[in-house]
Structure 1
Amino acid sequence: MSNASAKPTSRFNAYMALTMATIAMIVCFMAWSNFAPLAGQVATMFHLSVSERTLLLATPVLLGSILRIPMGIFSDKYGGKKVYILLMIFILIPLFMITKVHTFGMLLVAALFVGMAGTSFAVGVSYASAWFPAEKQGLALGIVAMGNMGNAVAALTLPWISKSQGFNMVYYTLMILTVIMIVLFAIFCREMPVDKSKTMLGALSVVKESSTWYLSLFYFLTFGLFVSFSNLTPTFLTTLFGVEQIQAGLYAALFGFICTIIRPVGGALADRYRPMSMLQWVFIGIAAFGLLITVTFHNQPLFIVGIVGVGLVAGFGNGVIFKMVPYVSKGNTGAVTGFVGAVGGLGGFFPPLVIGWIQSATGSYQLGIILLVVTAIICWYALWRHFIHGDVHIVQ
């Protein structure tokens, strides 16, 4: 039975799948982004340099990005419910490891494995999309992707838990939440329709579609911004303006919340209007707010305006882009989601490393933000050349 030919008839099952996939993603993203709001404390505990600190922040993003491709394919083939439950069981292992490590090297190993939590995006989108027709998937996928809010929830809660209950309690709390979600998912969710005849090679045929690569480039920018700035905002505020860790976490939570809550708005509007045209303004907006950030490194209020502006525009763009994903290759939503999501996740992996290296070499973050502006301009030109004035039209 294939996703394309068999749609579940129960509205309850559809909404339950959407709700549980979203909540589970929130918990997984809390685990995925756990180091960012605690970066200052971890840096002190392990005596980390700026480059080591940014390496730690980037490491979970690596595995959580690359493995979105097979996880999305497995979800299409074997069922999102099974894959989601197994994923959450695996996440418990590195969360426990973090409470026991005493060296930076072992901490990086745990950070790499906890990165698997980031693959929940591909699994969740594949699972939720199976229950809704294409004309409603812009809003539905925008809602399930609000699981990205886990970054904001982590920034809001983890520093407070660490300060009041201790560092290890952060990870015990994440483990408890994960176990709760495993139980709820097992009890309340039905398995999605799957096509067991699919092969890995067949699913990977989506790489032959030029639109897969263009959407990946665009998502590299928009989702990469969400991940990078969610992780880097506390570091920016503590190092540039001397903001206290818990307050910096609140600002990071605000960024993550804004970037996430606007995403279904982008998806819903993309259901009604031409998404390619809307994306032009997304890239222009990112470039404009990026330029604002580059000139406000000594002005905290305007700097925060730039950060929030980037979050709004990038989050909106995430919703627009994923409206187009199910149209690239019918019946391979998980594969396309995995590929596009993987490249987008890598957009969250490289910028913290590059910015850390640039800061170490120049003493400033400014050049790193200028590279962001250049990337936005490149994406705008690719969109204009391929979709706006080209002959490729995914969604009219």
Structure 2
Amino acid sequence: MGTATADQSTAVQRGAGRNLALATAAFALTFWAWNLIGPLSKTYADRLDLDPTQVSVLVAFPVLVGAVGRIPAGILTDKLGGRVMLTASCFVAVVPVLLVGLSGNSYAALLVSGFLLGIAGTSFAVGIPFVNAWYPPAKRGFATGIFGAGMGGTALSAFLTPRLVDGMGLLATHLLMCAALAAMGMVTWTLARNAPLWRASTEPALPRLKAVMKLKVTWQMSLLYAVAFGGFVAFSTYLPTMLVAQYDLAQTEAGLRTAGFSLAAVIARPAGGILSDKVGPLKVCVTAFFGAAVMAVVLAFEPPLEIPAGTSFVLMALFLGLGTGGVFALVAELVDPARVGGVTGIVGAAGGLGGYFPPLIMGTNYQANGDYTIGLLLLSVTALLVGLFTVKTFRMVPKPTPITPRE
């Protein structure tokens, strides 16, 4: 009996790989849609004569709904299942993407459509419980890490969106994204399946949310993720603006470098999950926060372009990516699987909100002082304090038990 239980706790269900791949692809595409405005910040600034503060507000707006919307998205996933919710995420995102494409000549219209564009960012809270249900506890760091690599959609957006706009025009680019989202929705509905052991939650949504919010671990994980994922979101959305202002790069050049930043974080996220399965998520998270604190200080001194600056930004991306993978490996260890969707919604919201405020601070800081020093030093202090909090709070979390082969 004990052997059978151990086997169930380590066996990967048939079809898990296919569903993980589908969820990751849908996540990447919706994240590309979520980040359509940031890579075009210079286009909008020039066209609408925007100051740095107005640009930062425009870039940050989609993050707001993408953050807050993760709470109901996570709860609905527990109730309706990942297949329905992933499909809905793709189809619903078509509307705000179209509105953004039609709003390029009005700052007010862009703010409204960008606010609604945040819907595309809620897919994260759908995918985590979906893939979590497909994998046993010993493999969930790997699964959530691979799924989290879908945040590479921001890299695709940073690299391809400015080039598509240059080649096709603003509206045509957004129409292409609408078609891609609709196609992905159809693929997800046709091929994705909920895990065999998944069962729909029958609890009413409000009591379920209250129960999740009463868990101390929900808020502890939210703090960690606000720095790890919030830092990634802030850089991936605002870095094109920052590079244009600080290093006088063209929009396409800034997009290329932002894509490199996002790609480094994307590679590091599954690595963070896999390392968490091997050495424990605590070590991964602490390394990430302390490393990010150091790199924020380095970046505050504005290292020269190319190798010094490029290396500094890549290391920052690697630390933040490791942190995002480590945090959700820690969630998988500490949270009852039946509540993962609800907890993920709140933690994901905290991560999104963590990425909402830094662009506003950076834009205001640049407009006032002509540099980003204060904003980066604030990031360093925050990451350092959260790293110390992590060490103190989770030092008793056990290292995962190594998987032993069946005899």
**What TM-score comes out, normalization by structure 1 length?**
0.94
Q: How many residues align?
A: 387
CA gap of 1:115–1:394, structure 2 versus 1, over 3 A, is farther
1:1-396 correspondence to structure 2 within 5 Å:
11-101=13-103, 102-192=105-195, 193-200=198-205, 201-296=207-302, 299=305, 301-330=307-336, 331-388=338-395, 393=397
Does the CA-based 8 Å contact 1:58-1:350 persist in structure 2?
yes
Does the CA-based 8 Å contact 2:261-2:314 persist in structure 1?
yes
Distance 1:268 1:311 in 2: 17
Which shifted more, 96-105 or 236-245?
96-105
- Which letter maps to 1:157? L
- Which letter maps to 1:97? L
Distance 2:329 2:399 in 1: 9
Does the CA-based 8 Å contact 1:324-1:394 persist in structure 2?
no
**What TM-score comes out, normalization by structure 2 length?**
0.91
Distance 1:150 1:359 in 2: 27
SS at match of 1:262: helix
Does the CA-based 8 Å contact 2:38-2:59 persist in structure 1?
yes
Does the CA-based 8 Å contact 1:68-1:119 persist in structure 2?
yes
Distance 2:224 2:308 in 1: 26
SS at match of 2:366: helix
How much does 1:395 deviate?
6.1
How much does 1:144 deviate?
0.7
- Which letter maps to 1:248? A
Identity %: 32
1:255-285 deviations in Å (ceiling 9; x for gaps): 0011011111110110111221332221111
Does the CA-based 8 Å contact 1:327-1:394 persist in structure 2?
no
CA gap of 1:182–1:394, structure 2 versus 1, over 3 A, is farther
Distance 1:367 1:297 in 2: 15
Distance 2:154 2:398 in 1: 31
Runs of 4+ displaced beyond 4 Å: 9-12, 297-300
SS at match of 1:196: coil
CA gap of 1:176–1:286, structure 2 versus 1, over 3 A, is same
1:110-148 deviations in Å (ceiling 9; x for gaps): 001110111000101111111111110000010111110
The answer for unaligned runs of 5 or more in structure 2 is: 1-7, 401-407
Distance 1:265 1:298 in 2: 29
- Which letter maps to 1:44? D
1:205-235 deviations in Å (ceiling 9; x for gaps): 2222222212111111111111111112211
Distance 2:85 2:390 in 1: 34
Does the CA-based 8 Å contact 1:122-1:338 persist in structure 2?
yes
- Which letter maps to 1:356? G
Does the CA-based 8 Å contact 1:296-1:302 persist in structure 2?
no
CA gap of 1:70–1:395, structure 2 versus 1, over 3 A, is farther
Does the CA-based 8 Å contact 1:37-1:249 persist in structure 2?
yes
Distance 1:64 1:285 in 2: 27
How much does 1:69 deviate?
1.1
SS at match of 1:130: helix
1:58-98 deviations in Å (ceiling 9; x for gaps): 00000000110110110011111111212222111111112
Which shifted more, 262-271 or 197-206?
197-206
Distance 2:47 2:14 in 1: 48
| RMSD between aligned residues | 1.8
- Which letter maps to 1:210? K
SS at match of 2:203: coil
Distance 2:123 2:25 in 1: 11
How much does 1:299 deviate?
4.8
SS at match of 1:48: coil
Distance 2:230 2:185 in 1: 28
Distance 1:371 1:100 in 2: 37
Distance 1:22 1:96 in 2: 23
- Which letter maps to 1:205? A
Distance 1:365 1:119 in 2: 29
How much does 1:308 deviate?
1.1
The answer for unaligned runs of 5 or more in structure 1 is: 1-5
Does the CA-based 8 Å contact 1:73-1:335 persist in structure 2?
yes
Does the CA-based 8 Å contact 1:209-1:328 persist in structure 2?
no
- Which letter maps to 2:246? L
